[in-house]
Amino acid sequence: MTKYKLAAFGQYEWHLLHYIPLFIFKNWFPFSLSYIKDYTGQWVYPHLIGLAYMRYHKTIFPVSKVCLSELRTSRSTVCEEELAKHPGTVGFKPLERDFDVENLLNEGIKLTGKKGAVGAYTVSTLLYLMSFKDFTLRYNNPELAQYYEQNLIKSLTFIDDMYFNRRVPYEGSLDDGRYWDTLLASLALLEAGEEVEKLHPTV
């Protein structure tokens, strides 16, 4: 997932990442929605929607003068070359329709709760917002563009509340990542040989 995020900002080549075919999100595909939703972790499906969209379009968001070339042994990135192709640039002509893409985004809409969370997770919500933002720049679809504008603030508020703990105990989220992540970090330290006495209780 880290590589997908890096690619979304021009720091990694999209063609090196696994392609997620959009037809698996169609109801008519024998092992599509039912299989993915029923036989994978609950958290997998909502994240796949955003990842599939961005990999399909090789989406890149322009971030001015940011290149993480130190992450690569070749000391090169795709930053300058790929950012110039972004659909938000001057002269880009929006596309009319892509029914597979619209079906994908509608799957995300079905998973969007009252608080604006897509699948009840902050990361899946962020990935979906990134995809939807790219869609509004790339396609001429007033109806979906209006949906994005109407729900953007609500979704961003959900993310802000979750990250900064400005929330009541339950707002549609399935877990509190602070405890989860702290526990995983503690286990990693122990496996790396850290003394157990130096680790403080987390809850």
CATH code, domain with 125: 1.50.10.20
Mean pLDDT of the chain: 80
Interatomic CA distance for residues 1 and 25, integer angstroms: 19
Q: How many CB atoms lie within 10 A of CB 45?
A: 18
Confidence of residue 82 (pLDDT cuts 50, 70, 90): low
In this prediction, residues 20-31 reach a mean pLDDT of 75
Interatomic CA distance for residues 10 and 67, integer angstroms: 8
pLDDT at 67 (0 to 100): 74
Query: Chain centroid to CA 30: how far?
Result: 26
- Identify whether 98 is part of a domain: yes
pTM over 0.85? The answer is no
- Identify whether 198 is part of a domain: no
Q: Is the dihedral of CA 168, 172, 175, 177 positive or negative?
A: negative
Q: 31-43: per-residue pLDDT in tens?
A: 555 556 666 667 7
- Identify whether 190 is part of a domain: no
Q: Provide CB contacts within 8 A for 139, sequence distance 6+.
A: 94, 95, 96, 97, 98, 101
- Identify whether 88 is part of a domain: yes
DSSP state of 155: H
- Identify whether 106 is part of a domain: yes
Backbone angles phi, psi at 145, to 5 degrees: -65, -40
- Identify whether 201 is part of a domain: no
**Averaging pLDDT over each range in 65-79, 87-101, 112-126, 157-171, which range is the top one?**
112-126
pLDDT at 73 (0 to 100): 63
Is a pLDDT exceeding 70 seen at residue 133? yes
Q: Provide CB contacts within 8 A for 18, sequence distance 6+.
A: 55
Q: Which residue has the tokens 């599939």?
A: 52
Q: Provide CB contacts within 8 A for 45, sequence distance 6+.
A: 36, 37, 111, 119
**Averaging pLDDT over each range in 7-11, 27-31, 89-93, 139-143, which range is the top one?**
139-143
pLDDT at 76 (0 to 100): 53
Domain that residue 78 falls in: 2-172
DSSP state of 65: T
Confidence of residue 55 (pLDDT cuts 50, 70, 90): very high
Confidence of residue 45 (pLDDT cuts 50, 70, 90): confident
Is a pLDDT exceeding 80 seen at residue 7? yes
The domain tally of the chain equals 1
pLDDT at 161 (0 to 100): 83
Q: Which two tokens stand for residue 28?
A: 């008519």
- Identify whether 186 is part of a domain: no
Interatomic CA distance for residues 80 and 126, integer angstroms: 24
Is a pLDDT exceeding 80 seen at residue 87? no
- Identify whether 75 is part of a domain: yes
pLDDT at 196 (0 to 100): 86
- Lowest mean pLDDT: which of 64-73, 76-85, 116-125, 150-159? 76-85
